[in-house]
Amino acid sequence: MELLLAGGAPLASAAFLSGRDSGRLVLDATSLTFACPVDLAGMVAWAHWAAEDSVPVTLKLPQSRAMASYLQRMDVLRHMPSRTQIVGRVPPDMRADHSGSLLEVTALNPSNVNDLSERIGPLVMGFYGRNTAAGSAVLRACGELMGNATEHGYSDRGAFMAAQLHSGRTTDGPRLEFAVCDTGVGVMQHLRGNARYSHYTQDRYAIARAMKLGVTGISDDKRGNGLSDVIEHTRQIGSVDFRIRSGKGEVHVLGTPMGHRETMTTRPDQTSGTWAWLTHRWGPASDTVVQSGK
């Protein structure tokens, strides 16, 4: 099996797992030019999904030295399964402190979710500055995605998260990007745990249903508003681009204070677990501190 990671933000757009040979997973990042949080966390999640089933993993590093260094800097190599074969020149692990603008790929589990919530809090609130309403809304959204991964999507294979802040100096406005990729049972299987939703057989419809107000896969859970709140609260104070991918389905929501639009698609591959990522824009254009060109 091969996951071709070419160009900019491939996992957020068109990249998908292909090939019938299940004897090895090859993560081919040789032509990678730009990586967003779902690329970073997603390739690690794919690797752990394979390794858990005793499938050998190969990571081909980007030809670009800057991109290879960025994967190193964002702890992608550090979080690869222990026996991963690395192809290409491994860059030295030299890094400046960008804790105010980046959250490296980080393993997320029930025992550290509270600590990570405290770690990401200053990152988010610092980005929004005096606009504490916006910061609080986005921080709640990030917390909801972390909670979903550890409460509903946790597995021994693990869950991984990453974040990037963009200043808005060079491209399309200040924005925050946050992703959580778990390797759990997936949205549809979790939702089917509630007899009310046991009829679902297509991932995209199950994901869309799970995002509605008051829907949960736990029969006695009276909350069930989390994913709906992620959209509603963040779109009120900016523009939100929110995606969830699970199984063969994906749901993409674009929202602004004026309203929101939802698109459902079926993918040619299958995501083991649930990937959720949020991009929020709140003002006037952007590179991250340590990578550029996109």
Residue range 199-223: average pLDDT? 74
Q: Count Cβ atoms within 10 A of the Cβ of residue 224 and give its class: 0-12 exposed, 13-18 middle, 19 or more buried.
A: middle
Does residue 28 have a pLDDT over 80? yes
pLDDT digits (tens, 9 = 90+) for 221-234: 444 456 888 888 89
Distance CA 38, CA 162 (A): 7
Distance CA 152, CA 259 (A): 28
So what's the pLDDT on residue 25? 94
Structural domain contains residue 294:
no
Q: What is the DSSP code (8-state) at residue 61?
A: P
Tokens at 126, concatenated? 């610092």
Structural domain contains residue 293:
no
The residue from 38, 61, 95 where one domain ends is 95
Instruction: Band the pLDDT of 15: cuts 50, 70, 90.
Output: confident
Distance CA 286, CA 266 (A): 31
Mean pLDDT of the chain: 87
Residues 25 and 125 in one domain: no
Instruction: Band the pLDDT of 292: cuts 50, 70, 90.
Output: very low
Residue range 105-127: average pLDDT? 94
So what's the pLDDT on residue 98? 78
Domain that holds residue 111: 96-288
So what's the pLDDT on residue 213? 60
The crossing angle, in degrees rounded to 10, of helices 113-128 and 132-151 is: 160
pTM, two decimals, is 0.89
Residues 117 and 62 in one domain: no
Q: Is 193 left (phi over 0), alpha (psi -120 to 50) or beta?
A: alpha
So what's the pLDDT on residue 172? 66
pLDDT digits (tens, 9 = 90+) for 135-158: 999 999 999 999 989 887 677 777
